[in-house]
Amino acid sequence: MLFSPHRPVGLKLLRFALPASFCFFYFFLSRTWILNNAYTSVKTSFTSRAAPAAAIPEIPEMLWYKLGPNGLNSELQGYVDTCLGRNPTFQYEFMTDLSGDAFVKEHFASRPDILENFLALRIPIVKADILRYLILYENGGIWNDLDISCEDVPIGEWIPAQYKENTGLVVGLEFDVDIWVRQFASWTIMAKPKSPHMLMVVEDCIEAVLEKTREHNVGVADLTIDMIGDVVDFSGPRRLTKAVLKSLSLSLNSKIEGGNISNVTEPRLIGDVLVLPDYSFANSMNEQYGDSGKGQILVTHHYAGSWKNALGGEILRNGSNSE
Ligand SMILES: *[C@@H]1O[C@H](CO)[C@@H](O)[C@H](O)[C@H]1NC(C)=O
Ligand SMILES: *[C@@H]1O[C@H](CO)[C@@H](O)[C@H](O)[C@H]1NC(C)=O
Ligand SMILES: *[C@@H]1O[C@H](CO)[C@@H](O)[C@H](O)[C@H]1NC(C)=O
C-alpha cells in the first residue's frame, strides 16, 4: 500500500483522478496546463501543513520532485512509487514550472538578486537545477529526479547512526574524469533547511548566470543553453560539488578539496556534510573510476530524462521540443 493517511489528500486524489481527467481533457487542453494548474493548487493547500517529525534530526521527511512538460509516465511513476512506498511516513510534492516559480516568489522575496534572476531565466534545465537547491535550502528534505528508484533501505536509515546528529547535508559521489576528480550526484540530495552549503550553491549559480550575461552582453532572459557551456559545470553536479567544497572550506576554516572526497569507501562526514560512497547513489556507473568500495546501494538512477534539447528543455515523447 503506497499511500499513508499522512499524505495530503489532494495529492492522493490527484494521482488517481489525473489519469482520468487527463484522458478526458487531452483533446481540449495541453497536458502541461493541466499538470501545472492541478499541482499549483496542491501546493497552496500543502504549505499550511506543519513539517512532519523526522527520523533524522533536522532533516524533514519530505520528498521533492519536479515534473517536466511530459509529466509522469508509467516508467517514471514506477520509480517514484519505489521511493514513496518504502518511505510511507514521508510527505511528497511534485513541483512544476509554475509552482516552482510560485515557491521562489513566496520564499525569496528578501533576496531580489536570487528571485529576479531565477524568474527571468529561460533555460529549463538550469532552472530545474537551481530550483532543487532553493527548495532544499528553504525547506530541506530529499530531492529526487523522477528517474530515481529507491532500493530497500528506508531513507531514515541512509545516515549511519553515529552521524545522524551532526549531518546537515547528504551528497553521494558519482563518476568523473578520473579517480582523483570526483563529483557529487545532483539527482538525489538530502539537506536540512537553511544549510549554508545549499545557499552557497544557489549563490554561485546566480553569479554564474550574471557572468554569462556580461560575457554575452545579454539580459538573463536572453541567455540560451549554447551560451552557458556545459550545464554540468554551470549549474549541475560540478557546480554543486565546487560550491559545497568552497562552503565547507569556509565553515571549517581549512581547505577541503578533491582529495578529501576521493577514495571514499564508506560514508565520510566532513564538517556537517556526509559524503556517501559512489555505490550509494551511483552504483551502476563507477566500474571504471569508482572507489570500488562495496556497500549498501540506496538509489538507482535510470537515465530516463532526455533533458538536453536545443532549448535545454525536455524532449516530448512524440519527438517535439518543448521549452
Ligand atoms: C582534507 O585533506 C587534507 C589533505 O589530505 C587533509 O590534511 C585534511 O585533514 C582533510 N580535511 C578533512 C576535514 O578531512
Ligand atoms: C583508500 O582507502 C583504503 C581504506 O580506507 C586504503 O586502504 C587505501 O590505501 C586507500 N587508497 C588510496 C589510493 O589512497
Ligand atoms: C507533440 O506534442 C506536442 C505537445 O503535446 C504538440 O504540440 C505537437 O504538435 C506534437 N507534435 C506532433 C508531431 O504530433
Query: pLDDT at position 14, please?
Result: 42
pLDDT bracket for residue 46 (50, 70, 90): very low
Taking CA atoms only, the protein residue closest to ligand 3 atom 12 is: 318
Query: pLDDT at position 41, please?
Result: 34
CA 130 – ligand 1 centroid, Å: 29
Mean pLDDT for 310-322 is: 46
Q: Each residue of 169-218: pLDDT tens digit?
A: 999 999 766 666 789 999 999 999 999 999 999 999 999 999 999 999 99
Q: Which atom of ligand 2 is nearest to the CA of 179?
A: 13
Q: Give yes or no for residue 22 CB within 6 A of ligand 3.
A: no
Identify the structural domains of the chain with CATH numbers, from first to last: 62-301 (3.90.550)
SS3 letters across the chain: CCCCCCCCHHHHHHHHHHHHHHHHHCCCCCHHHHHHHHHHHHHHHHCCCCCCCCCCCCCCCEEEEECCCCCCCHHHHHHHHHHHHHCCCCEEEEECHHHHHHHHHHHCCCCHHHHHHHHHCCCHHHHHHHHHHHHHHHHCEEEECCCEEECCCCHHHCCCHHHHHHCCEEEEEEEEEECCEEEECCCEEEECCCCHHHHHHHHHHHHHHHHHHHHHCCCHHHCCHHHCCCHHHHCCHHHHHHHHHHHHHHHHCCCCCHHHHCCCCCCEEECCEEEECHHHHHHHHCCCCCCCCCCCCCEEECCCCCCCCCCCCCECCCCCECC
Taking CA atoms only, the protein residue closest to ligand 2 atom 8 is: 263
